[in-house]
Amino acid sequence: MAASKLVLRPPPSLILTLFLSSNQLRLLSTPASATLSICRRPTSAVASLSSQSQTLNSPTLPLYGPSLRKGSNLPIKPRITDSESDDDGGQIDEESFKRVFDVSAIRVPAKDCFLLEERLRGHLLNWPRIRNIARVPGDDVEKRFLDLATKEETTGLDNLERRMYGRADGDGERLNSVLYRDKLVKSFDSNGFVNFKNVVKMSGPLRRKKKVVVVDEKVRKLGERNKDGRNGFALVEVVEDADGDEGGNWSGLLGDDCYRGVRWKGPTRLLLLDESYANKGVDELPEAIKVVLSSGGHKTSPAPELVRCKLTLFYSYWQMDEILEALLPDGMVIPSAFEMVGHIAHLNLRDEHLPYKKLIAKVVYDKHSSKIQTVVNKTDAIQNNYRTMQLEVLAGNHSLVATVVENGLRVQVDLATVYWNSRLATERQRLVDCFTRDDVVCDVFAGVGPIALAAAKKVKRVYANDLNPQAVEYMERNCVLNKLERRVKVFNMDGRRFIHAMFTSSKAESITQVVMNLPGDAAEYLDVFKGIYRDKPKGGKFRYPTIHVYAFSKAEDPEFDFEKRIRIALSEVAFEIKMRRVRLVAPGKWMLCGSFILPQSVAFAKPSSDM
Ligand SMILES: C[S@@+](CC[C@H](N)C(=O)[O-])C[C@H]1O[C@@H](n2cnc3c(N)ncnc32)[C@H](O)[C@@H]1O
């Protein structure tokens, strides 16, 4: 923690600065208290990843809890550099998201803080991600300094301050570094040196840097923040007591009965009080707080005291939807959902968002920078044969190669050249769950191989095919990545030719499952099964595989519609088809899976066309 210099006797009007590091805060659970339910924050970052919901900008000012529309602030304006060029530049004025809130706190000995937090829980701030207990860096004083500071025979604090900051004994002037060092050498023994890092630096040999450390973007940003005294997303500052007050008379706030004349010794903590108690005098506070304030109060343990604080929340504190709500025009739907493919956040922006696309992408990137390295938007519907998406990179690095972990498998994809849809993970698993270890699977439209790989972990053998050479390359790579290359045989041909090749070869005797996952067209490929065994020797033993075929349907009765298409493709009605709705891909448009055993009559029928 980047603590400020240790000042045990603060000059008048000094503001003691307390830093809440983001690491600390991340570790802390949000207090589950009444305030949570009234804070306007319905979605967490994680929820927003999976949620499809969208939120409308709400103009009402929340009564409780932090809000960008509360506290002292600057106006927030999106910087649209050139809306004509459809490029907002993605610049965000982070300063304008700084909000300062007045809060009161009780300063208590560190050792009592958890007990008192428990006792006062209903009266504490309880803001999301803000810890009720704030630390005072200079208050964790080493005992030997404390002894030195409180020694009667020396001048205590003056003496210590002189030794630390190099002032001469009499006049308080700063010594030059040589005299200062000389003085330290005389004043401290060798053990004392280790506590003064500057002295060690001055005296010790220069250390060589062993290697160049590449600092990632987030760490670098944090480092920059530390330089200007900020660490993390919140900052608590104590506004000092009446004697040194710059901003008004605070004496009532300090409590008339509270400890005076005796300095705080040892570590202390601040218990941040509910926002409704800000600017209130002791008399106006609830009994439970008054009881705490009047407890203690002897020389070794001073009474808790009421102090006024400023709580500053920075850009990094606010969540994605809060920032977007402030940036985007009133009434605009806030894009709160996106899909994740490995490190890539995949937005699906509406037309109205397009003038703000880079701004939106920047906020998404900033707010999930631990998980996201690239933010893209889909620019066009999937139309091509390989089912790849037209994507525009809006923020982060331009690599569209991602590694996805799905159902325990590592799958590498290049979104620029192959098909991928994370939303099908459950469906893929469901399908594989119905296979057994005796199965031999043919995956006709396998893409980069998520079904084929999952099946390969379970079944005897998998034949996987795709028309897209890039998909086939990634499929082979994924087989190796998951150590399944011996169980999967990969093909690169048209689906129709593949089915024909498989079922007219000796492999046909072993194939038990066929997967046809090309919902746009797969049903139209079914006719290839007509007469597929016609050339086989009569009286032989044949397997009739189970075929799982996918389709979309916009019909009022999607099952009926899809069944009809299957029967027409196979020119057969007398067989059973199990129908299942997979998911609604658009309003009124279902994705379905139909599963049936290839009817013998179809396998020996007259072929509809030559291969
Ligand atoms: C909807 S994707 C499914 C991929 C995979 N099953 C998955 O779940 O990720 C369809 C795949 O079929 C491939 N494809 C399209 N037309 C094809 C054809 N005529 N023959 C073989 N594969 C084809 C595309 O390249 C694409 O990878």
Residues 306 and 348 in one domain: no
498 CA to middle of ligand 1, Å? 12
Question: Between residues 317 and 231, which one has the greater pLDDT?
Answer: 317
> Which of 394, 348, 388 is closest to 375 using CA atoms?
394
Annotate 296-351 with DSSP letters as a single string: --SSSSPPPEEEEEEEEE-TTTS-HHHHHHHHSPTTPEE----EEETTEEEE---G
Q: What is the ipTM of this complex?
A: 0.99
C-alpha to C-alpha distance for 390 and 432, rounded to whole angstroms: 30
The amino acid at residue 293 is L
Q: How confident is the model at residue 232 (pLDDT cuts 50, 70, 90)?
A: confident
Residues 355 and 450 in one domain: no
Q: Which residue has the tokens 């006709």?
A: 444
- Quick check: is 433 in a domain? yes
CATH of the domain at 340: 3.30.300.110
CATH of the domain at 268: 3.30.70
Give the pLDDT score at 68: 87
CB hemisphere CA count around 235 (13 angstroms): 23
Give the pLDDT score at 522: 84
269 φ/ψ angles, rounded to the nearest 5 degrees: -140, 160
Q: Is 495 annotated as a binding residue?
A: yes
CATH of the domain at 472: 3.40.50.150
In this prediction, residues 598-611 reach a mean pLDDT of 81
Terminal CA-CA length for the chain: 72
pLDDT in tens, 152-181: 544 555 655 555 555 544 455 556 666 666
Q: Which residue's alpha carbon is nearest to atom 1 within ligand 1?
A: 518
Give the pLDDT score at 9: 31
Residues 561 and 426 in one domain: yes
As for ligand 1, residues whose beta carbon falls within 6 Å of it are: 385-387, 419, 424, 428, 445-447, 450-451, 466-468, 471, 494-495, 517-518
User: Where does 257-303 have alpha helices with state H?
Assistant: 287-293
In this prediction, residues 104-110 reach a mean pLDDT of 91
Percent of the chain with pLDDT over 70: 64
Number of domains in the chain: 3
351 CA to middle of ligand 1, Å? 29
For the CA of 386, the closest atom of ligand 1 is 25
The amino acid at residue 492 is N
For the CA of 447, the closest atom of ligand 1 is 27
Residue 191: which H helix or E strand, with range? helix 190-193
Cβ atoms of residues 364 and 347 within 8 Å: yes
Residues 351 and 370 in one domain: yes
Residues 517 and 580 in one domain: yes
**What secondary structure letter does DSSP report for 132?**
S
- Quick check: is 306 in a domain? yes
Q: Measure the CA angle with vertex 115, ends 109 and 117; round to 5°.
A: 90
Mark residue 86 as left, alpha or beta (left: phi above 0; alpha: psi -120 to 50; beta: remaining).
left
Residues 435 and 576 in one domain: yes
Most informative mutation of 341, 383, 445, 451 for ligand 1 (most atoms within 8 A of CB)? 445
Cβ atoms of residues 463 and 491 within 8 Å: yes
Structural domain ending residue among the three candidates 354, 384, 399: 399
Average of per-residue pLDDT values in the chain: 76
Residues 349 and 308 in one domain: no
Structural domain ending residue among the three candidates 279, 299, 317: 317
- Quick check: is 443 in a domain? yes
Q: Is 517 annotated as a binding residue?
A: yes
Question: Between residues 387 and 539, which one has the greater pLDDT?
Answer: 387
- Quick check: is 40 in a domain? no
- Quick check: is 211 in a domain? no
Give the pLDDT score at 223: 40
Give the pLDDT score at 165: 54
CB hemisphere CA count around 601 (13 angstroms): 7
pLDDT in tens, 328-348: 998 899 988 888 999 999 998
Q: How confident is the model at residue 451 (pLDDT cuts 50, 70, 90)?
A: very high
Predicted confidence (pLDDT) at residue 54 exceeds the cutoff of 80: no
Most informative mutation of 467, 478, 493, 516 for ligand 1 (most atoms within 8 A of CB)? 467
pLDDT in tens, 505-534: 989 989 999 999 999 988 889 999 999 998
Predicted confidence (pLDDT) at residue 449 exceeds the cutoff of 90: yes
412 φ/ψ angles, rounded to the nearest 5 degrees: -95, 135
Give the domain range for residue 527: 422-604
387 CA to middle of ligand 1, Å? 7
Predicted confidence (pLDDT) at residue 371 exceeds the cutoff of 50: yes
Predicted confidence (pLDDT) at residue 226 exceeds the cutoff of 80: no
Give the pLDDT score at 83: 44
Helix (H, G, I), strand (E, B) or coil at 108: strand
C-alpha to C-alpha distance for 214 and 600, rounded to whole angstroms: 64
Annotate 440-484 with DSSP letters as a single string: EEEETT-TTSHHHHHHHTTSSEEEEE-S-HHHHHHHHHHHHHTT-
380 CA to middle of ligand 1, Å? 18
**What secondary structure letter does DSSP report for 137?**
G
546 CA to middle of ligand 1, Å? 19
Give the pLDDT score at 435: 98
Give the pLDDT score at 222: 42
Structure tokens at 484: 């399944």
Q: How confident is the model at residue 361 (pLDDT cuts 50, 70, 90)?
A: very high
C-alpha to C-alpha distance for 412 and 403, rounded to whole angstroms: 4
Q: How confident is the model at residue 229 (pLDDT cuts 50, 70, 90)?
A: very low
C-alpha to C-alpha distance for 239 and 13, rounded to whole angstroms: 8
| Segment among 215-229, 238-252, 312-326 with least mean pLDDT | 215-229
C-alpha to C-alpha distance for 395 and 376, rounded to whole angstroms: 7
Predicted confidence (pLDDT) at residue 87 exceeds the cutoff of 60: no
Q: How confident is the model at residue 259 (pLDDT cuts 50, 70, 90)?
A: very low
Give the pLDDT score at 295: 82
Residues 333 and 296 in one domain: no
Percent of the chain with pLDDT over 90: 48
Give the pLDDT score at 91: 80
Predicted confidence (pLDDT) at residue 489 exceeds the cutoff of 70: yes
Q: At what angle do helices 357-367 and 320-327 cross, to 10 degrees?
A: 160
Most informative mutation of 413, 431, 518, 611 for ligand 1 (most atoms within 8 A of CB)? 518
Q: Which residue's alpha carbon is nearest to atom 23 within ligand 1?
A: 467
Q: Which residue has the tokens 């659970």?
A: 29
- Quick check: is 65 in a domain? no
Annotate 384-445 with DSSP letters as a single string: STT---EEEEEEE----EEEEEETTEEEEEETTTS---GGGHHHHHHHHHT--TT-EEEETT
Q: Is 443 annotated as a binding residue?
A: no
Q: Is 466 annotated as a binding residue?
A: yes
Q: Is 391 annotated as a binding residue?
A: no
> Which of 608, 39, 58 is closest to 324 using CA atoms?
58
Residues 341 and 448 in one domain: no
C-alpha to C-alpha distance for 320 and 243, rounded to whole angstroms: 42
Q: Is 281 annotated as a binding residue?
A: no
Residues 6 or more apart whose CB falls under 8 angstroms from that of 401 comprise 412, 413, 414, 415
For the CA of 420, the closest atom of ligand 1 is 9
C-alpha to C-alpha distance for 560 and 579, rounded to whole angstroms: 9
For the CA of 468, the closest atom of ligand 1 is 25
Structural domain ending residue among the three candidates 317, 332, 349: 317
- Quick check: is 359 in a domain? yes
Residues 367 and 515 in one domain: no
Predicted confidence (pLDDT) at residue 559 exceeds the cutoff of 60: yes
Helix (H, G, I), strand (E, B) or coil at 548: strand
Q: How confident is the model at residue 141 (pLDDT cuts 50, 70, 90)?
A: low
For the CA of 550, the closest atom of ligand 1 is 1
Helix (H, G, I), strand (E, B) or coil at 268: strand
Q: Which residue's alpha carbon is nearest to atom 7 within ligand 1?
A: 447
- Quick check: is 409 in a domain? no
Residues 365 and 503 in one domain: no
CA-to-CA separations, 171 to 8, 174, 179, in angstroms, rounded: 20, 9, 15
In this prediction, residues 492-505 reach a mean pLDDT of 95
Question: Between residues 260 and 468, which one has the greater pLDDT?
Answer: 468
Residues 308 and 334 in one domain: no
Task: Express the helix, strand and coil content of the chain in percent, nearest 5 each.
Answer: 35, 20, 45
